[in-house]
């Protein structure tokens, strides 16, 4: 039977009264879980006891240890959060609640339930990082004892660990836990690959023992001769990192030389660089294989010098050099806040970075539509193979590999991201989609009226940028659709002989009551997005029953199109309507109005579906703006004709957006297809008149469809 004494024997860093509280929490947990057993057959209490033991190794405080002992009682027994709060304090109850799953809530799918659990856990963690430390210790013990589970469940839990928990452990700087979680997941996901690789490593260990011993002695001798006091150890890469390297770089095991590395731990920062210099004298460094994580720490606070050297027999040797304080942080990560004195500058900086990351979770959560979207953003941020770039003032910023200028803009500030129009990288103007590289200096150019572009979602990689862009676009589309929906509803009300201004609040309240809790803005937005018919909503407001004859006789004034409605009104690419064209609009569900020309083939084919077509007309006072339109020219195949045509288009005040040419071998004629930008039909007619005057132009026509 498990015993609390083994745990308390490791708690000499706590006060006696704290240990007494932990023992009381153990007794409550033991009685609550009495008669419950794990799948392995052990009494259930062995699990919370083991989780508390892992946290004791990290020297976490008494509240965290009590929460670890009680972390399953709310989920698996009748004990409530209030009871825990009364007996052990509000902080312990909040920790237990943060770790507990949301099993009692009905979800649409298992995926959604899982995402909701992570959202709750990560938000609780943003308030108190101990939540995630307890959860990681819980997952570590579950992974150590996973063999008792059914194969399918082992696979699911291991994949979840690999995708979420191991990266979070890495993000919080818990390196040894990260390595162990990855190896255990690898073992359960790919048991055959794991065994083959483990066997190869065991064989290589014997073959390379002589080389490792020789290198170890050489390093010790060199550092001693330079009067550098250091602790030197050989370390073996964990299996999953070897497998990942083989998989990513398509290497065989025999091509992976650096399965052995060496760690050099010295007194302080300056000695790290002295040790590096002396080892570069001992063995030649491999160019491009040096990383200074002391000057530029990783996002999780990790600091070390990494260098790869040509060792004896041409074998590459990987060496990490760090101070004792850096080693403590590398092993314990964010837990080092409890494990060591928090006056340490490095620990404080690491806590600050962790706090910033946790705050960014809260920011992303506030703008994510649902739990699965939130989890998608977080997963992106949990795999940061980092690049380090500089702001114009020289501040270093860590970005995930593959991050673009837009990601950087949002990392600086949400407003900078929303207003960015261009970027200077190393003082040169570059496209916003440019991927950032180590050492780039990045300056974002903003404009007060600029807005996020939906196309940015195709190339941003950070969760923060993605969630802010989506949030802005949703809000903008909602606002634009609300305005359009109101115009469409007013049009339908007038057609039914009602004055829109005379619709009372009581009429709206009655309609909203029937629409199960929606508000007026939501109804209008749904009309604008084509999810409700304006005539149906108008009839509901006026309480007119659906009458086919009455509807047939009712005439609606056309809706005016200004061209500035944004995403609520789209112009069909098949016929490219421009001001001056007779137009009609189709209500497309979820997208709002799509405007076509009267002679568009799409309209002529589906005009029988009259419910979805609305009469629209151009607003004569609409602000001028460019519209895309396509024209086709057949020209004599002569030198300089393209330049002549382009010059004529420019002289007529139009801009060329795109040009393509079709040339048949040996033909005397070439077909040119231009996409022009014109303000209206009058300007297009003027452009075509100018082009007809060119001697080489044989035929010209506007292209539709």
Report the number of distinct structural domains present in the chain: 5
pLDDT at 332 over 70: no
The verdict on whether 615 is a catalytic residue reads no
**What average pLDDT does the segment 674-693 reach?**
92
368 is a domain residue: no
Please compute the mean of the pLDDT values over residues 440-455 and round it to a whole number: 87
User: 57 with 73, same domain?
Assistant: yes
pLDDT (tens digit per residue) in 195-209: 988 888 877 766 666
Residue 221 confidence (pLDDT) above 50: yes
Q: Which two tokens stand for residue 622?
A: 């609409």
Question: Which of these ranges, 45-49, 308-312, 543-547, has the smallest mean pLDDT?
Answer: 543-547
> SS3 string of 301-355?
CCCCEEEEEECHHHCEEEEEEEEHHHHHHHHHHHHHHHHCCCCCHHHHHHHHHHH
Query: Could you report the per-residue pLDDT of 165-190, keeping only the tens digit for each?
Result: 888 888 777 888 888 999 999 999 99
Q: Residues 576-607: pLDDT tens digits? A: 999 999 998 887 765 667 889 988 888 777 76
Domain boundary among 168, 189, 210: 189
Query: What is the per-residue pLDDT across 138-168, written as a single tens digit (0 to 9) for each?
Result: 999 999 999 888 888 899 899 888 887 888 8
CATH of the domain at 237: 3.30.460.10
Residue 43 token pair: 């009494």
What's the whole-number mean pLDDT along residues 99-116? 55
- Please indicate whether residue 75 is annotated as part of the active site: yes
Which pLDDT score, from 0 to 100, does residue 343 have? 45
pLDDT band per the 50, 70, 90 thresholds, residue 396: confident
Helix (H) or strand (E) holding 443: strand 442-446
The predicted-structure confidence for 242-264, as pLDDT tens digits, reads as follows: 888 888 778 887 777 566 788 99
| pLDDT attached to residue 360 | 63
Of 593, 617, 641, the last residue of a domain is 617
Q: Are 203 and 245 within one domain?
A: yes
pLDDT of residue 253: 77
The mean pLDDT of 674-688, rounded to a whole number, is 92
What is the per-residue pLDDT for 683?
Answer: 92
| Same domain (yes/no): 173, 110 | yes
Tell me the C-alpha to C-alpha distance, in Å, between residue 89 and each of 66, 73, 85, 125, 365. Answer: 10, 16, 4, 18, 28
Q: Is the pLDDT of residue 645 over 80?
A: yes
**Same domain as 580, residue 684:** no
Residue 613 and residue 675 in one domain? no
Task: Tell me the mean pLDDT in the region 314-340.
Answer: 75
Residue 359 lies in a domain: no
Structure tokens at 616: 């629209």
- Does 452 map to a domain? yes
Residue 456 belongs to a domain with what CATH number? 3.10.20.30
Higher pLDDT, 685 or 108: 685
Q: Average pLDDT, stretch 124-128?
A: 65
Q: Which of 134-138, 293-297, 358-362 has the highest mean pLDDT?
A: 134-138
- Model confidence at 471, in pLDDT bands (50, 70, 90)? confident
Question: What distance lies between CA 436 and its chain's CA centroid?
Answer: 17
- 108 — pLDDT class (breaks 50, 70, 90): very low
Give the residue numbers spanning the domain of 660. Answer: 627-703
What CATH number is attached to the domain comprising 164? 1.10.3210.10
The average pLDDT across 361-378 equals 58
pLDDT at 592: 66
Q: What is the distance between the alpha carbons of residues 289 and 281, in angstroms, rounded to a whole number?
A: 16
Count Cα atoms within 13 angstroms, Cβ side, for 196: 7
Least confident window among 539-543, 552-556, 667-671 = 552-556
* pLDDT above 60: residue 340: no
Q: Which pLDDT score, from 0 to 100, does residue 439 have?
A: 77
Average the pLDDT over 511-527 and give the result.
77
Q: Is the pLDDT of residue 109 over 60?
A: no
- CATH value at residue 674: 3.30.70.260
Alpha helices in 79-162 (DSSP H): 81-88, 90-99, 110-127, 130-144, 151-160
Query: Which range in 316-330, 370-384, 581-595 is most confidently predicted, on average pLDDT?
Result: 316-330
pLDDT at 631: 94
**Is 314 inside a domain boundary?**
yes
Which residues are 446's β-sheet partners?
420
> What pLDDT score does 208 carry?
66
Q: Would you say 252 and 196 are in contact if contact means Cβ atoms under 8 Å apart?
A: no
Do residue 309 and residue 323 come from a single domain? yes
Choose one of 145, 174, 189: the last residue of a domain: 189
Q: Rounded distance, CA 233 to CA 263, Å? A: 5
Q: What mean pLDDT, rounded, does the chain reach?
A: 81
Give the separation between CA 405 and CA 378, rounded to whole angstroms.
20
Determine the pLDDT at residue 275. Answer: 93
Between CA 590 and CA 613 the distance in angstroms is 15
Does residue 345 lie within any of the structural domains? no
**Least confident piece of the model among 359-373, 385-399, 434-448, 599-613:** 359-373
Across residues 641-660, what is the average pLDDT? Answer: 90
The pair of structure tokens assigned to 685 is 């007619």
Residue 358 forms part of a structural domain: no
- pLDDT value of residue 367: 54
Q: What is the pLDDT of residue 342?
A: 46
Q: Is the pLDDT of residue 273 over 90?
A: yes
pLDDT of 550 reads 47
In a domain, 348, yes or no: no
**pLDDT of 274 over the 90 cut:** yes
Asked if pLDDT for residue 416 goes beyond 80, the answer is yes
pLDDT given at position 9: 83
**Identified catalytic residue from 18, 61, 75, 617:** 75
* 217 vs 258, higher pLDDT: 217
Do 293 and 303 form a contact (C-beta atoms < 8 A)? Answer: yes
Q: Is 407's pLDDT higher than 90?
A: yes
Instruction: For residues 481 and 612, state if they share a domain.
Output: yes
Higher pLDDT, 655 or 115: 655
Mean pLDDT within 618-630: 87
Confidence band of 137 (pLDDT split at 50, 70, 90): very high
554 pLDDT above the threshold of 70 = no
Task: Report whether pLDDT(408) > 50.
Answer: yes
- Whether 377 contacts 466, CB under 8 Å: yes
**Judgement on whether residues 414 and 485 belong to the same structural domain of the protein:** no
Catalytic residue among 76, 160, 522, 628: 76
Which pLDDT value is given to residue 522?
Answer: 82
Co-location of 485 and 455 in the same domain = no
**Pair 60, 48 in one domain:** yes
Q: Can you give the pLDDT at residue 445?
A: 92
| Highest mean pLDDT of the ranges 266-280, 314-328, 465-479 | 266-280
> Same structural domain for residues 533 and 673?
no
Distance CA 215, CA 212 (A): 5
Residue 331 or residue 196, greater confidence? 196
CA pair distance 684, 660, nearest whole angstrom: 19
Same-domain status, 269 and 406? no
How far, in Å, CA of 273 to CA of 139, rounded?
Answer: 38
Question: Which of 66-70, 136-140, 150-154, 660-664 has the least mean pLDDT?
Answer: 660-664
What pLDDT, on a 0 to 100 scale, did the predictor assign at position 389?
83
């Amino acid at each position: 039977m498990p015993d609390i004494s083994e745990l308390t024997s490791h708690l000499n860093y706590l006060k006696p009264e704290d240990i007494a509280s932990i023992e009381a929490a153990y007794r409550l947990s033991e009685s609550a879980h009495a008669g419950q057993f794990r799948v392995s057959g052990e009494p259930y209490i062995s699990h919370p006891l083991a989780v508390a033991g892992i946290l004791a190794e990290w020297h976490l405080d008494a509240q965290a240890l009590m929460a670890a002992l009680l972390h399953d009682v709310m989920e698996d027994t009748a004990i409530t959060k209030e009871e825990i709060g009364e007996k052990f304090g509000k902080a312990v109850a909040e920790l237990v609640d943060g770790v507990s799953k949301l099993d009692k809530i009905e979800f649409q799918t298992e995926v959604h339930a899982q995402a909701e659990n992570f959202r709750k856990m990560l938000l609780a963690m943003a308030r108190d990082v101990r939540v995630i430390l307890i959860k990681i210790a819980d997952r570590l013990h579950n992974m150590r004892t996973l063999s008792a589970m059914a194969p399918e469940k082992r696979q699911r839990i291991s994949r979840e660990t690999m995708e979420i928990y191991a990266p979070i452990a890495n993000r919080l700087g818990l390196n040894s836990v990260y390595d162990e979680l990855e190896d255990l997941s690898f073992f359960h996901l790919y048991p055959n690959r794991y065994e083959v690789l483990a066997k190869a490593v065991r064989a290589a260990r014997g073959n390379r023992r002589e080389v490792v011993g020789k290198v170890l002695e050489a390093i010790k001798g060199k550092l001693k001769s330079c009067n550098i006091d250091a602790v030197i150890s050989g370390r073996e890469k964990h299996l999953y990192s070897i497998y990942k390297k083989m998989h990513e770089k398509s290497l065989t095991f025999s091509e992976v030389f650096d399965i052995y590395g060496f760690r050099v731990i010295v007194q302080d920062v300056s000695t790290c660089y002295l040790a590096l210099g002396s080892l570069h004298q001992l063995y030649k460094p491999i160019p491009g294989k040096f990383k200074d994580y002391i000057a530029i720490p990783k996002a999780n606070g990790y600091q070390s010098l990494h260098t790869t050297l040509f060792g004896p027999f041409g074998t590459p040797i990987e060496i990490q050099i760090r101070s004792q304080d850096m080693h403590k942080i590398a092993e314990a990560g964010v837990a080092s806040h409890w494990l060591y004195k928090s006056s340490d500058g490095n620990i404080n900086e690491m806590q600050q970075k962790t706090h910033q990351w946790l705050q960014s979770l809260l920011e992303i959560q506030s703008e994510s539509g649902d739990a699965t979207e939130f989890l998608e953003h977080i997963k992106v941020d949990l795999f940061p193979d980092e690049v380090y770039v500089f702001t114009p003032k020289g501040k270093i910023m860590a970005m995930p590999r593959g991050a673009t200028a837009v990601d950087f803009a949002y990392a600086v500030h949400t407003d900078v991201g929303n207003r960015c129009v261009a970027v200077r990288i190393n003082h040169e103007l570059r496209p916003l989609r440019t991927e950032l590289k180590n050492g780039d200096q990045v300056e974002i150019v903003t404009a007060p009226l600029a807005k996020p572009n939906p196309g940015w979602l195709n190339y941003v990689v950070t969760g923060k940028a993605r969630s802010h862009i989506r949030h802005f676009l949703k809000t903008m589309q909602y606002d634009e659709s609300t305005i359009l929906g109101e115009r469409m509803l007013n049009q339908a009300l007038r057609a039914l002989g009602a004055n829109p201004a005379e619709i009372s609040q009581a009429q709206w309240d009655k309609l909203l009551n029937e629409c199960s809790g929606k508000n007026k803005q939501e109804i209008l937005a749904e009309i604008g997005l084509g999810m409700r018919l304006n005539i149906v909503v108008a009839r509901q407001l006026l309480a007119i029953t659906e009458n086919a004859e009455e509807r047939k006789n009712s005439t609606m004034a056309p809706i005016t199109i200004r061209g500035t409605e944004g995403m609520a009104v789209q112009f069909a690419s098949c016929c490219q309507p421009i001001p001056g064209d007779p137009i009609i609009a189709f209500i497309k569900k979820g997208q709002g109005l799509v405007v076509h020309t009267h002679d568009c083939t799409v309209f002529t084919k589906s005009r029988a579906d009259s419910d979805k077509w609305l009469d629209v007309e151009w607003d004569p006072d609409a602000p001028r703006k460019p519209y895309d339109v396509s024209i086709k020219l057949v020209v004599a195949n002569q030198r300089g004709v393209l330049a002549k045509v382009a010059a004529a288009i420019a002289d007529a005040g139009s801009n060329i957006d795109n040009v393509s040419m079709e040339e048949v071998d040996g033909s005397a004629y070439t077909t040119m297809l231009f996409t022009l930008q014109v303000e209206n039909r009058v300007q297009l007619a003027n452009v075509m008149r100018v082009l007809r005057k060119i001697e080489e132009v044989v035929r010209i026509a506007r292209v539709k469809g």
